Amino acid sequence: MNKEIQISNFKTFLCKKGYSSLVIEQYGQRVKEFLKCNEVVFVLRTDQKRLKEIISKYLQKTPLTSQKSTIQASLHAYYYFLTGKKIFKRLSISEFEINTAIESEIERFQRYLIDVAGLSNNTVTSQCSTVKIFLYSSFPEKNFLPEKIVIEHVKIYLTSTISHLSNASKKTIITRIRSYIKFLQFSDGLKLEEILQLPMTSPVWKRSSIPKYLTESEIDNLFSSYNRTRPAGIRDYAIARCLKDLGLRCSEVARLSLDDFNWLEGTVTIRETKTYSERILPLHIVTGRAIEEYLLHSRPKTQERRLFIRFKNELGKPMGTSQVRYTVRSAAVRAGLDKFTGTHMLRHTAAKEMINNGIDLKMIADILGHESVETTSIYTKINFTELQDVAGVWPEVEYD
């Protein structure tokens, strides 16, 4: 089939599916670029396995850009257009009939996460959503009871149900399932050590992944990529400084308020945190100057108390976590940081610098907002010399 005709048919398909005209044009252009790939010319639309392989290979070779997610979405839609099947079957609660026993269990788990663990609403929602899908997929016959969970349920879920996900996504899901299993041990006294002993994460702490951070030259390239002669560049530069200099999470930067700053004392209070615990941080001179420049020369007049606000769509409204994240990812693309994986690299870089400067783990944990110093211990792997001075057995932990 002629490529132009195929693109036209693809756009018609998207239109019938209810996609907006803007998205249809974007997807059409991305697929048109994909069809220039030599391997695509020789694959038949009936050869679904080969087509899936080519799409996956194409996406792997696609460098990090602000449009990579659009490219992936467009090719997944194109595969669905050609084959009538989705590249990966994504589990959804809507696929299952309501199971009152599981729904009640999730409510019980939710209360534990709020009342005992003290987690934020967003974290609780994510945890419960993941565990709910795990339970629904593990007990399709509606015969769920907490004491019926066995090691085979977890093995099947990890090796089959979520096998197509990225390592990072699997790691997040695995951590949430572990949290639920530990909850059953704590609340119900169930003996589930066999499940917890599964190598759901690296079984040996010394071999677990080292947090990815940016080198000094990469940091310089990132900060230099901001055009600080323009209002948006001034704002986005201040965002990046907050992430790197203060070691904040992306969501914490988005929630910063004008009322959080004490300019006389040179501090900033991080209030709406992942664990609900406030922390007061010293405001670096460079960071303070970047924020000052933003307030004086970039931020439009508005009644909004949030620090970082939007300039285009919904002018004057506060930026959300996704908008904050997007500004940094775009800068990473401009800076040519091909291995940039996300805004957490700036947080990891802040931790690495503190470790190298000899700051003790307890203080770093307080700055980063970790409830336990054990969470912070993963960063000592960045500096092996520092690690040699640390005594005792280190547990396997999840860093955030």
Q: What is the mean pLDDT of residues 202-230?
A: 75
Residue pLDDT, tens place only, 106-142:
999 999 998 888 888 888 998 999 999 999 888 887 7
Q: What pLDDT shows up at residue 262?
A: 94
pLDDT tens sequence across 316-349: 889 988 899 989 999 998 998 877 878 888 988 8
| Residue-wise pLDDT tens digits, 256-271 | 999 999 999 999 998 8
Q: Would 3-83 and 216-388 be classified into the same CATH topology? A: no
Domain boundaries, the chain: 3-83, 93-201, 216-388
CATH (residue range 216-388)? 1.10.443.10
Q: How far is residue 211's CA from residue 168's CA, in Å, rounded to a whole number?
A: 12
Quote the pLDDT of residue 166.
67
**How many Cα atoms occupy the beta-carbon half-sphere of 201 within 13 Å?**
23
- Amino acid making up residue 319: M
- How many degrees, rounded to 5, is the angle at CA 221 between CA 215 and CA 225? 145
Asked if 319 and 309 touch (Cβ cutoff 8 Å), the reply is: yes
CA end-to-end distance (rounded Å), the chain: 49
pLDDT at 294 over 60: yes
Q: Indicate the fold that domain 3-83 takes in CATH.
A: DNA polymerase; domain 1 (1.10.150)
Q: Say if residues 234 and 297 touch (Cβ distance below 8 Å).
A: yes
* pLDDT (mean) for 248-263: 92
Closest to 216 in 3D by CA, of 367, 349, 341: 349
- CA 196 – CA 184 distance, rounded (Å): 12
DSSP assignment string, 84-131: SS-SSPPP-GGGS---HHHHHHHHHHHHHHHHTS---HHHHHHHHHHH
